[in-house]
Each structure stands twice: as C-alpha cells, then as structure tokens.
Amino acid sequence: MAVMQYREALNLAMTEEMERDDRVFLMGEEVAEYNGAYKVSQGMLDRFGDRRIIDTPISENGFAGIGIGAAMVGLRPIVEFMTFSFSYVAFDQLVNNAANMRYMSGGQFSVPIVFRGNSGIAGNLGATHSHRPEALYAHFPGLKVMMPSTPSDAKGMLKAAIRDDDPVIFIEHENLLGDKGEVSEDPDFVVPIGKADVKREGSDVTIITYSRSVITSLKAAEKLEEEGISAEVLDMRTIRPLDLDAILNSVTKTHRAIIVEENWPYCGIGAGVADRIYRAAFDELDAPIQRVTAKDAPLPYNRRLELDMLPSVERVVEAVNQVLYR
C-alpha cells in the first residue's frame, strides 16, 4: 500500500494496464506533451512514447470516433475528455456508435473503450463547466458508467474499466483529484464493475451516494453520530449497472433511505434508484425516500451561490432527520 493522490492512482491504473497489455493507449487533448490538463497522465509520454500517448486537436467528435474505430479493430483505447462537458460534442459517437455497436452488429463488433475525464461541480467554473453527465450516459443501454470516490477505488475501478470489453464512461470528480488515500500497488488489484461499497456501517438510515457526495455523506454521518443516529453510507461506485442487491440489503436493514448526488433532481440518478427501491422493497420502508440533489437551476458562477446549490453536510443531516421524523 502507498499513500497517493486520486490523480496519481488514476495514472498508476493506466500505467499498469498499458504495461500489461500493449493494445492499450491513451489519447486526448494535452494528455502527452502537457502531461494532462489536470496532470493525470504525468510522465506517461516519456514512458510509453508518442505512439501510445497521443495528443489530439480540439476535435472531440473526431477523436472519440477514432477511438471507437480503433476499439472495433482490436485495440483498447482510453479517450480522455479534458472535462466531461466537452463530451457533448461527441455525443453521437458515444450514444449511437459506442453504445449500440455490439447490439447493431449482432455481436460481430465489440467496443472495448474507456471514455474518461473529470466532471462535477468544482468551484467557480460557471454553468458550462459544472456538468454532471452521469445521468445522461447512464440512460443509454450499452454504456457502463463508473464514478470513484476514493484514490483506492479510482485505481481499482479504472483498471476494471480498461479490462472491460464494452464502452465505459469513467467520470472522475475534479474536486477529488488531489485527495490522498491508501492505494494498493498490486497490479492485479481491481474493483469489479457493478459492485457497491459500504463506506460506513450504520443501522438507522441508509445514505446512498457516489463520487464526491460520498465525502459529504461521510461527514454528515459523523455529525449524525453525535446526535445518536447511526447512518450507513453506501457508495454506489458504478452508476450502471446498479448494485441493487447491496442497496436492498442496506435498506432492508435500516428501513429508511436518502439518496445524495450532485445531479439536478429531475431524472437524476436518485430518481432511478428510488424507483428500484420502491418496487423491490416497498414493505421494508418506514418513510418515503428523500433525495438530496443540486438545486434545479444552471450553476451560478458566484462562489456563495454555487455552494448554496450543492448538497451539503447540513442538507444531508436535514434529510436524514426528515426520514427519521425527528
């Protein structure tokens, strides 16, 4: 085990996988010469050369398509979007080609590609840079969507994504890139796709969450403990496929649930998760499920307004109190 940053864990995952499998390569804007806009690919050009660490022009639709084509003929590309908001330019490539190719070719082609990059609400970046595209991509059958919350998960999950034979949308949170934590240096350490994780055990209420909201929820759980409430924090880790068993196990234990996400509320991840819980565990619930989301408006540039838009420790605590009828 070594202590490293979230961004270093991502770098380690890619480095290990490129050493393990020479079909793996990385492409994107500024990934090579500049070592990555967010320094995630630091040192990788020197190590693997310009045939495997490839700088692209600002042409998301083009290089996403090149990646898909490369994957279809047997390579295993990692395509970095500088921020995931830019992926919308390549939306057609992702949802029409990558997502559908296996299905529409009757299984003749697979697309083993990872589209990765950071996203989320980071701090004074304004409305167009503060997107949470996971609900959008999780909507499309054929795409897997993963969002790690810790350095250890960042490494293990990215390795699973690279090894997967289908397209994976891998969204890193910009505000987590500098977080430090213990990370396994075992080259075979992999966190399987579709496996949620109980980040904190509890008995009174389940907080279902992912990505940076896990950190918020864990802080809220500490605060709740001072009030005598035992909250379980369940990190979904993979948005699609959903680990419904883990969610139901926890809700069946606590009988109350809240869902915390940075998404907008309407058609957000929590809407889909709540639906699955209501249908599978209606009789286990002692209160309606509450959701803590971003407020339903474009993100303001102003720092104080931005903070007010986001799920906070206070709002998580309040939602827990609501489902506990306190």
Partner 1 sequence: MPIEVTMAKLSPTMESGQLVKWNVKVGDAVKEGDVLAEIQTDKAVMPMEAFDEGTVALLDVQEGDDVALGQRVLVMASKGEDPAQVAEKLKGGSASKAEAKKEAVPAGAGAGAGAQGASSAPDYGHSTDSNGQHAEAEPREPGGRVRSSPLARKIAASEGIDLGQVEGSGPNGRIVRRDVEEFLQHRGAAPSKGKEAAAAAPAPAMPVARGPVRETQRVPHTRMRKTIAARMLQAKQTAPEIHVTSDIRMDRIVALREQLNAQLSKQKIKLSVGDFVTKAVAMALRKHPDLNASYEEDAMVLHGDVNIGIAVALDGGLIVPVLPNADQLGLVEIRQGTLALAEAARTNTLNPKQMMGGTFTISNLGMYGVKQFDAILNMPEVGILAVGTTEARPVVENGQLVVGQVMTVTLTADHRAVDGATAAEFMRTLKAFLEEPAAMLL
Cβ atoms 247, 210 nearer than 8 A:
no
Binds partner 1 (CB under 8 A): choice among 284, 295, 300, 313: 284
Name the minimum Å distance from CB 23 to partner 1.
Answer: 51
Which of 110, 184, 230, 322 binds partner 1 (CB under 8 A)? It is: 322
Between CA 76 and CA 25 the distance in angstroms is: 7
CA distances from 86 to 28, 60, 228, 229 (A): 11, 7, 44, 41
Residue 295 contacts partner 1 per CB under 8 A: no
* Residue 286 binds partner 1 (CB under 8 A): yes
Pairwise CA distance, residues 275 & 49, whole Å: 48
Cis ω on the peptide bond leading into residue 241 (within 30° of 0)? yes
- Pick from 123, 141, 178, 288 the residue near partner 1 by CB under 8 A: 288
Tell me the per-residue interface mask from 228 to 267 with partner 1, x by CB under 8 A, - otherwise.
Answer: ---------------------------x------------
Catalytic-role residue among 129, 173, 261, 306: 129
| 34-53: contacts with partner 1 (CB under 8 A) | none
Dump the DSSP string for 221-235. HHHHHHTT--EEEEE
Polymer length in residues for the chain: 326
CB of 230 to partner 1, least distance (A): 15
Applying CB under 8 A, the site for partner 1 has a residue count of 11
Give CA–CA dist 212/237, Å, rounded: 11
Name the minimum Å distance from CB 289 to partner 1: 11
Give all strands of the β-sheet with 144-146 in edge-to-edge order: 53-55, 24-28, 76-83, 114-119, 168-173, 144-146, 238-240
Comparing CB distances to partner 1, the nearer of 266 and 325 is 325
Q: Reduced to 3 states, what is the DSSP secondary structure of residue 182?
A: strand
Report in angstroms how near the CB of residue 229 gets to partner 1 at its nearest.
Answer: 14
Phi, psi (degrees; rounded to nearest 5) at 125: -105, -5
30 is catalytic: no
CB 291, min distance to partner 1, A? 11
What does the block give as tokens for 76? 């295993």
At 215, list the tokens.
């950190």
The verdict on 275 binding partner 1 (CB under 8 A) reads no
The CB-of-47 to partner 1 minimum distance in angstroms stands at 53
Provide the total of helices (H) and of strands (E) in the chain, helices listed first: 12, 14
Nearer to partner 1, 249 or 322 (CB): 322
3-state secondary structure of 179: coil
Among 258, 229, 233, residue whose Cα is nearest residue 246: 233
Residue 189: alpha-carbon gap to chain centroid: 18
129 is catalytic: yes
Q: Which of 8, 60, 232, 306 is catalytic?
A: 60
**Is there binding between residue 283 and partner 1 (CB under 8 A)?**
yes
Residue 325 CB, nearest approach to partner 1 (Å):
5
* Contact flags string 149-178 toward partner 1, x per CB under 8 A: ------------------------------
Amino acid at 88: Y
Q: In sequence order, what are the beta bridge partners of 291?
A: 259
Q: Which is nearer to partner 1, 125 or 285 (CB)?
A: 285
Among residues 44 and 323, whose Cβ is nearest to partner 1?
Answer: 323
Positions marked active-site = 60, 129
Contact set with partner 1 (CB under 8 A):
255, 282-288, 318, 322, 325
